[in-house]
Amino acid sequence: MNSAAHEPAQRLRALVTGAGRGIGRAIALRLGEEGALVACAARSEHEIERVARAVDDAGGRGAAIPMDVTDLASVEEGVHRALEFTGGAFDIVVNNAGVFSVHAFDAMSPATWYRTLAVNLNGPYHVTLMSLRGLEQSERAHLFNISSIAGRQAFEGNAAYCASKFGLRGLSDVLRLEWAARGIRVSTIYPGGTDTTIFDDVPGDWDRSTMNQPADVADVLWAAYLAPHDANVADLDVPNPRLA
């Protein structure tokens, strides 16, 4: 049989940052299961290569896009390559790449503050700036910003992380207003603790058995994408039911 017979008429076109591990990987695979073209961006090339092949195996088509979201030139080049892969449009862009650390304010180095803001807030700014022309080419464009429960609520030791994630919410809220007339939807997702490598190097007593799974966040994202265009999908919580 002609393999073209299996090709969906129109595949969804997506860019996911931080796609090499954790929540970003789960989102890439979820979109792959829906048959999407998924541009998988991060710095660790062996990880995004592996995820891109897993997207293929899931039924979509993946491409590994090396990108450091803190570096505008790297983002510009990566988004350019991603748009070549998708044919010039993005239906879904996910600002997911992020870092996390815990320090009391007076024990936190300026380098930690700058790094956290660079990845978690400047990163989404860079990716959104460069991706807008791709989103504008879609009939059903949706930007997702992965904030955190720490983007709604303060936690001790999270000065930089909370500032970055509250800031990301502010960016989302402004873009939602500015882009409403263009039909581009903007959602902020606030996951609770999720079992990923983000905790590997963070001292603390993390009980991963009570945490969400990365796929829980991917399921919320996909449900929001499918929601009717006039549905309110602005702020999406993914709480920890096991912590109730």
Ligand X SMILES: NC(=O)c1ccc[n+]([C@@H]2O[C@H](COP(=O)([O-])OP(=O)(O)OC[C@H]3O[C@@H](n4cnc5c(N)ncnc54)[C@H](OP(=O)(O)O)[C@@H]3O)[C@@H](O)[C@H]2O)c1
Does residue 158 belong to the site contacting ligand X (CB under 6 A)?
no
Query: Is 22 or 134 the residue whose CB approaches ligand X more closely?
Result: 22
Catalytic residue selected from 114, 161, 190, 225: 161
At 124, give phi and psi (nearest 5°). -60, -35
Non-local (6+) Cβ contacts of 37 within 8 A are 11, 12, 13, 14, 60, 61, 62, 63, 85, 86, 87
Does residue 236 belong to the site contacting ligand X (CB under 6 A)?
no
Does residue 17 belong to the site contacting ligand X (CB under 6 A)?
yes
> Could you say which of 11, 20, 128, 169 contacts ligand X (CB under 6 A)?
20
Q: Please tell me the distance from the alpha carbon of residue 25 to that of residue 40, in angstroms, as a whole number.
A: 8
Count other Cβ atoms within 10 Å, centred on residue 241. Answer: 10
Q: Please tell me the distance from the alpha carbon of residue 45 to that of residue 61, in angstroms, as a whole number.
A: 17
Query: Is 8 or 241 the residue whose CB approaches ligand X more closely?
Result: 241
Does residue 98 belong to the site contacting ligand X (CB under 6 A)?
yes
Q: Please tell me the distance from the alpha carbon of residue 107 to that of residue 40, in angstroms, as a whole number.
A: 35
Does residue 78 belong to the site contacting ligand X (CB under 6 A)?
no
Q: Which region among 7-15, 17-25, 132-140, 227-235 touches ligand X (by CB under 6 A)?
A: 17-25
For ligand X (CB under 6 A), the number of binding residues is 29
Is 114 labeled as catalytic in the residue annotation? no
Cα 189 to Cα 77, 140, 204: the distances in Å are 26, 19, 24
Count other Cβ atoms within 10 Å, centred on residue 75. Answer: 25
Task: List the x/- string, 122-151, binding to ligand X by CB under 6 A.
Answer: ------------------------x-x---
What's the closest the beta carbon of residue 155 comes to ligand X, in angstroms?
11
List residues with catalytic annotation.
Answer: 161
